[in-house]
Amino acid sequence: MSDTATIPLWDAIGALIDLGESPPVNANGDPILEQADPQIPGRRWPRFHRGVARNNSKGSAPPPGYFLLGMVNLTPAGGYNGETGEDGTVTVHCWAATPDDAERLYRWLHGLLHDQPIAVSGFGHPFGNLSKSGPTPDASGTAWQVIAVYTVDPEDA
Amino acid sequence: MSGLRMTVQVRNTAGLKAKIRARTVGQKRRILETSIREGEATFDLAQALANRDTSYMADHMRLDFTRGGFNWTVGFRREDFVGQTNSNASPPRLITEFYPLFVVEGTRFQAGNDFLRAALELRRASILGAYRQALRVA
């Protein structure tokens, strides 16, 4: 695997996910994202992870119900830098225990990000568009993801 | 509304047909050349953007031409992976999964890196421009 790097766009999307109100709930009305960490009383799993999602104590993945921020599509010039005319794409993997919950995570994310201004430090407020693929199961069939593709419109950056 | 009748008269239809045929042949040749050029360039970029651990995956990326060379695809085939031995690994190991899917789409642990889509997106303008140029009437 290639190394990933934190870039302003990741930070901006992560901040929005962190602050997003009315977090998504499943068909029973239970929260999909807000899960307690059984190993550390009082601690909750974060809503999103950057590039890699691991339970450090055991090396396993957290329980499904999180966003995993993906790679930026690199340009020959070295990747998204938020400057006018530069486009950039970030994938946000919506992992949940069922296909329906993964769809609900995506819909919540869509309301948060699609066609909304996003503050990328030092580069103004570009708008982004969200599209999706999935849901698809993981190799074990115990978790499902919808892949959200967030594309910054170079005309808006 | 009153009707309007238009009559187009062509004196030498054989000449017109030959002209159209010649133009079509020229366009087909140019599109075929463009297809090969753009397919190869997109393949090279996708390979450059692909994740590399042992390089087995990148080395087994394929560029396939279909419809007599007019269409092309860049990607992977299951049979190049499942049941094969990755001799780039140390020690060599048997491949049991079609793992490019996990690399591109990601797993619960690791976000995906869709280098195939990235290569296409990065070259989209160039590809469209090249085909537009190939279709242009001289």
SS (H, E, C) A107-133: HHHHHHHCCCECCCCCCCCCEEEEEEE
Q: Pick B112's closest partner by Cβ from A54, A74, A147.
A: A147
Query: Rounded CA gap, A128 and A120, in Å?
Result: 11
Nearest-CA neighbor of B42 among B60, B59, B63? B63
| B112 Cβ under 8 Å from any chain A Cβ | yes
CB atoms within 10 A of CB A61: 21
Query: Rounded CA gap, A38 and A15, in Å?
Result: 25
Q: What percent of chain B has pLDDT over 90?
A: 57
ipTM: 0.79
Q: Pick A139's closest partner by Cβ from B102, B117, B122.
A: B102
Minimum CA–CA partner of B53 in chain A = A1
Query: Rounded CA gap, A37 and B127, in Å?
Result: 49
Residues of B in contact with A149 (CB under 8 A): 117
Q: What is the pLDDT of residues B82-120, one digit of tens each?
A: 999 999 999 999 999 999 999 998 999 999 888 898 888
Tell me the whole-structure pTM to 2 decimals. Answer: 0.78
Residue B49 or residue A144, greater confidence: A144
Confidence at A80, pLDDT banded by 50, 70, 90? very low
